[in-house]
């Protein structure tokens, strides 16, 4: 796939279709790739990489990149990235005419933290070998099943289909059933209110307020976040007490409700490994149950049940009547 992508990128650069390419740049230890913009074939030959660790969702960068008066930029989007891009498009945050989209298939991305959790460290290189990764380390070679170190969000993948693209590389996939995705939420729903409260207090109290979840989130695109605005009265750089961090995450989850595409970037970047995606996924599940299945990023956004009214909409009392669920 990497070679196909590089070849296509160079062709589109050469024929003038695009002036830039956003992709991933090679790192120091083979898993630490960085999103990067490439402008020449030489740069692509030298640094462009696409492998199991290129999980970062580059859609959000396209807000900035598509605003530039510098021709079109080529972006390779995995299905989940394409949902994010489409949602940004629905919110008029990206300029479609300045982006050339190539949909790439995705079999799931690896999570280096899960490799480390298996007790592997001192990593000097990682190679794919059939269904395994062979991890070279200063303490000897290790072998892990690729399926065992997939990111959480990939285990709960909602779709292998690209809702938006200009062309596709490889085979297009299909939507996947939601039951796996909502299993974690169902577990939380089965708890008593006290257990659930304790669960979230314990998770959210780890928060260091680095804002990585917010800054990486493709649904968080305010020019100036309320938490960064000293005039708001609630601007905060560090939590004054545990209540603060709790509120920060709850307010954020409310703000992206109906717009979150469940790309899982929030949980990927959290240095404290807080399962933030569960908050957003609870909203998605509730919306599905109250208004019928809706996937943000699937279309132009006009059907977003939280911002459009129909006579059949659930009344507020429905939530109460449903009891604890």
Distance between first and last Cα of the chain: 44
CB 20 within 8 A of CB 74: yes
CB within 8 Å of 302: residues ≥ 6 apart: 90, 308
Radius of gyration of the chain (CA): 21
Q: Which is nearer to other proteins, 170 or 271 (CB)?
A: 271
Distance of closest approach, residue 237 Cβ to other proteins, in angstroms? 5
Distance of closest approach, residue 29 Cβ to other proteins, in angstroms? 5
Q: Which is nearer to other proteins, 169 or 239 (CB)?
A: 239
Q: Which is nearer to other proteins, 117 or 201 (CB)?
A: 117
Q: Which is nearer to other proteins, 133 or 291 (CB)?
A: 133
Measured at the alpha carbon of residue 297, what is the angle toward residues 294 and 301, in degrees to the nearest 5?
75
How far apart CA 291 and CA 188 sit, in angstroms, is 21
Tokens encoding 59: 């859609």
Q: Which is nearer to other proteins, 146 or 236 (CB)?
A: 236
Burial 222-231 (b: 16+ CB within 10 A, else e): eeebebeeee
SS (H, E, C) 73-122: EEEEECHHHHHHHHHHHHCCCCCHHHEEEEECCCCCCECHHHHHHCCCCC
Tokens encoding 137: 């380390």
Beta strands 167-168; 142-145: pairing state: unpaired
Distance of closest approach, residue 39 Cβ to other proteins, in angstroms? 10
Distance of closest approach, residue 60 Cβ to other proteins, in angstroms? 8
Distance of closest approach, residue 36 Cβ to other proteins, in angstroms? 6
DSSP state of 25: E
Chain residues that interact with other proteins, rule: CB under 8 A: 27-29, 32-37, 56, 61, 113, 116-119, 121-124, 137-139, 206, 208-212, 214-216, 224, 228, 230, 236-240, 268-269, 271-273
Q: Which is nearer to other proteins, 200 or 291 (CB)?
A: 200
Distance of closest approach, residue 325 Cβ to other proteins, in angstroms? 29
Q: Which is nearer to other proteins, 11 or 232 (CB)?
A: 232
Distance of closest approach, residue 238 Cβ to other proteins, in angstroms? 3
| CA distances from residue 225 to 141, 218, 291 in whole angstroms, order as listed | 46, 14, 29
Distance of closest approach, residue 317 Cβ to other proteins, in angstroms? 35
Q: Which is nearer to other proteins, 161 or 255 (CB)?
A: 255
CB 102 within 8 A of CB 81: no
Beta strands 142-145; 132-137: pairing state: antiparallel
Q: Which is nearer to other proteins, 240 or 319 (CB)?
A: 240
Distance of closest approach, residue 219 Cβ to other proteins, in angstroms? 14
| CA distances from residue 294 to 78, 221, 283, 286 in whole angstroms, order as listed | 20, 21, 11, 10
């Amino acid at each position: 796939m990497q070679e196909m992508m590089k070849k296509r990128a160079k062709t589109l650069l050469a024929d003038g279709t695009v002036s830039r390419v956003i992709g991933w740049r090679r790192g120091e230890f083979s898993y630490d790739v960085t999103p990067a913009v490439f402008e020449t074939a030489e740069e692509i030959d030298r640094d462009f990489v696409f492998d199991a660790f290129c999980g970062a969702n580059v859609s959000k960068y396209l807000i900035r990149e598509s605003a530039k008066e510098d021709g079109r930029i080529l972006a390779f989007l995995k299905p989940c990235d394409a949902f994010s891009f489409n949602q940004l498009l629905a919110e008029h945050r990206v300029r479609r005419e300045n982006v050339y989209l190539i949909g790439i298939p995705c079999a799931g991305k690896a999570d280096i933290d899960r490799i480390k959790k298996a007790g592997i460290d001192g990593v000097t290189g990682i190679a794919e070998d059939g269904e395994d990764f062979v991890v070279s380390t200063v303490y000897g070679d290790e072998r892990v099943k690729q399926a065992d170190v997939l990111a959480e969000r990939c285990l709960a993948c909602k779709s292998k289909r690209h809702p938006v693209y200009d062309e596709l590389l490889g085979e297009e996939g299909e939507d996947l059933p939601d039951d796996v995705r909502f299993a974690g939420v169902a577990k939380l729903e089965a708890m008593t209110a006290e257990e659930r409260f304790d669960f979230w207090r314990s998770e959210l109290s780890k928060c260091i307020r680095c804002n990585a979840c917010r800054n990486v989130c493709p649904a968080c695109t305010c020019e100036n976040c309320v938490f960064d605005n000293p005039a708001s009265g609630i601007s905060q750089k560090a939590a004054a007490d545990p209540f603060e961090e709790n509120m920060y995450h709850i307010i954020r989850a409310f703000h992206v409700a109906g717009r979150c595409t469940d790309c899982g970037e929030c949980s990927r970047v959290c240095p404290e490994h807080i399962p933030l995606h569960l908050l957003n996924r609870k909203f998605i599940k509730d919306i599905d149950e109250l208004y019928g299945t809706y996937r943000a990023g699937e279309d132009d956004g006009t059907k977003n049940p939280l911002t459009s009214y129909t006579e059949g909409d659930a009344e507020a009392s429905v939530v109460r009547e449903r009891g604890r669920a």
